[in-house]
Amino acid sequence: MVIRYALIALLTSGMLGVSFGEEIKDPAEEVKKQKKLLLEVMGVLPGDLIAEEGKEYFHKKGPNGKSCASCHGKDGKGEKMPLVGAYATMPKYYKDIDKVADLDLRIKSCMEKYLGYDPKKISGKAGRKIIVPLATYVASLSNGMKFNVKLDHPKEKEMFEKGKELWYARVGKMDFSCAMCHDKYGGYRIRLQTLAKPKESKVMRYWPAYRYSKDKMWTMEDRIRGCYKQIKVTKPPFYHWAHVALQMYMAVNSNGGVVEVPGFVR
Amino acid sequence: MKKWIISVAGLIVGISLLYVPDTAEAGKKRTFEEDIKQDWAQKVCSNPESKVPPELLDKFLEEQKKLIKYPKSGNIYGDWKRGEKLFSNPKKGNCYACHCGDPKELACGNLGPNLKGYGKKKKDPEYTYRKIYNSWAYVPCSVMYRAGVHGRLTPEEIADIVAYLHSPESPINK
């Protein structure tokens, strides 16, 4: 609790700094500064705490008495179906669910299919409370490894094509596309917000990420929903194919990038 | 000073605050699938170069021009003070997202040209009106959204913004 207050005070003062500074600050420098400040005050980064929380869930029994570790091994290092390195190859086609899945959908599927969770109970916010930390933890098991997503299965190719289509699609009342903000005008400012270049930065390698401006851990599904909201397009529900498609497109563009999760972003 | 603080408070929250959901449309629940349906022009623009293929260009410009409508009064030069509010309101024009203009407004984007002194450039107000109503009738596939076409701004509201950009009284031209 005390930590939380300190954090909020810190974030607020940091942000006031941004707004009153007449000069436009270098966004990369600002992120570094915030990270350093948080480390100084808390001694640990919030994202690492959330990964720890995910690790606890990973070893905790679900409704049917099994845990993730029952199948994937302690710390995800089982002889069968280890999860070390798994994130660096996702999204991917899975035979057991006959779907291409991203991290969020894969974890939710395992919870329903193999841990006995009631799908209705975890489809909403309650589910996100477990799935986000689990995703953070599972992704961190690929730290130091290179992103290497392949398009071997026809459904993977199809997902990639759909993702590419969505990336370039001009939609909604603002006539925007992901590409307009993140390719063509990447590096420009919308108001004071510098637009990221997710393809260039091999973005999948540092997501899920802790957003210090919101004091929240986000998976890429949260990020995609946030971007659609900005352009006044109704957000795709969590676990929707659009998330998988867009991540497939971004993941292929992230190939070669070294995984470093949890990320730390504005 | 007070106004400055308020505008500053807004930008702390950044872009999420700039795009507040439409209240006018609340009530009816829209879906993602409905919202990503494209009109013909949006489809044509959905390519990595964000360009209209040369063979479609004439048709594209003609169709976009046809979409432009005028205020019933016929007056395209409204009230600059109202225009000032519409220009900066994130729920209406949201023009500062991409344009700087009034030098007092520091929270302005740089996707579009700086509009400071726009009125001194001797542009035809009718061009300004048409450009804001349908930006794609002049620059196909521009990142500047088609405010009139999508009903984000009414013809009368666009006329007010035209006055804001052209009037010698307006802070844009001071």
Helix-helix angle B80-88:B155-166, to 10 degrees: 100
Query: Is residue A19 within 8 angstroms of chain B, CB to CB?
Result: yes
Residue A129 shares a structural domain with residue A187: no
Nearest neighbour of A233 by CB, restricted to B9, B35, B145: B35
Residue A115 shares a structural domain with residue A28: no
Residue A130 shares a structural domain with residue A182: no
- Cα of A237 to nearest chain B Cα, Å: 8
Is residue A210 classed exposed, middle or buried when 0-12, 13-18 and 19+ CB atoms within 10 A define those classes?
buried
A-interface mutation test, from B110, B135, B153, most A Cβ less than 10 A away: B110
Residue A37 shares a structural domain with residue A51: no
Is the pLDDT confidence value at A131 over 90? yes
8 Å CB contact of B35 and A169? no
In terms of CA atoms, which chain A residue is nearest residue B135? Answer: A175
What confidence tens digit (pLDDT) does each residue in B147-169 have? 999 999 999 999 999 999 999 99
Amino acid at B11: L
Cβ-Cβ contacts under 8 Å, A229 against chain B: 16, 19, 21
8 Å CB contact of B32 and A226? no
Residue reference for tokens 């098991």: A141
Residue A19 shares a structural domain with residue A85: no
Taking residues B134-152, report their average pLDDT: 98
In terms of CA atoms, which chain A residue is nearest residue B9? Answer: A19
Q: How many domains does chain A have?
A: 3
More confident residue, A128 or B27: A128
Residue A184 shares a structural domain with residue A261: yes
Query: Is residue A22 within 8 angstroms of chain B, CB to CB?
Result: yes
Q: Is residue A240 part of a domain?
A: yes
Residue A261 shares a structural domain with residue A176: yes
Give residue A184's pLDDT band: very low, low, confident or very high (50, 70, 90). very high
Cβ-Cβ contacts under 8 Å, B43 against chain A: 170
Q: Is residue A116 part of a domain?
A: yes
Q: Is residue A147 part of a domain?
A: no
Residue A159 shares a structural domain with residue A260: yes
Round the average pLDDT of chain A to a whole number and report it.
Answer: 92
Taking residues A87-104, report their average pLDDT: 98
Q: Is residue A149 part of a domain?
A: no
Q: Counting one residue from A and one from B, how many pairs have CB atoms under 8 Å apart?
A: 114
Domain with A238 in it: 154-265
Give residue B170's pLDDT band: very low, low, confident or very high (50, 70, 90). very high
Check which CATH number belongs to the domain holding A174 and give it: 1.10.760.10
Give residue A65's pLDDT band: very low, low, confident or very high (50, 70, 90). very high
What confidence tens digit (pLDDT) does each residue in B99-126 have? 999 999 999 999 999 999 999 999 999 9
Cβ-Cβ contacts under 8 Å, A184 against chain B: 50, 143
More confident residue, A18 or A195: A195
One DSSP character per residue, B115-158 reads -TTGGGG---HHHHHHHHH-GGGTSTT-SS--TTTTTSS-HHHH
Q: Is residue A148 part of a domain?
A: no
Q: How far is B29 from B169, CA to CA, in rounded Å? A: 43
Is the pLDDT confidence value at A85 over 50? yes
More confident residue, A5 or A92: A92
Residue A260 shares a structural domain with residue A200: yes
3-state secondary structure A167-228: HHCCECCCCECHHHHHHHCCCCEECCEECCCCCCCCHHHHCCEEECCCCEEECHHHHHHHHH
CATH code at B2-173: 1.10.760.10
Is the pLDDT confidence value at B24 over 80? no
Q: Is residue A215 part of a domain?
A: yes
Is the pLDDT confidence value at A41 over 70? yes
Q: Is residue A145 part of a domain?
A: no
3-state secondary structure A99-162: EEECHHHHHHHHHHHHCCCCHHHHCCHHHHHHHHHHHHHHHHCCCCCECCCCCCCHHHHHHHHH
A71 is catalytic: no
Nearest neighbour of A193 by CB, restricted to B9, B15, B143: B15
Is the pLDDT confidence value at A9 over 50? no
Give residue B28's pLDDT band: very low, low, confident or very high (50, 70, 90). confident
| Domain end position, chosen among A112, A140, A168 | A140
Which tokens sit at B70?
């005028």
Residue A35 shares a structural domain with residue A63: no
The DSSP call for residue A80 is S
Give residue B90's pLDDT band: very low, low, confident or very high (50, 70, 90). very high
Q: If you compute the radius of gyration of chain B from its CA atoms, what whole number of angstroms results?
A: 17
Taking residues A6-12, report their average pLDDT: 45
ipTM: 0.87
8 A C-beta contact, residue B34 and residue A234: yes
The pLDDT assigned to B2 comes to 39
Residue A130 shares a structural domain with residue A187: no
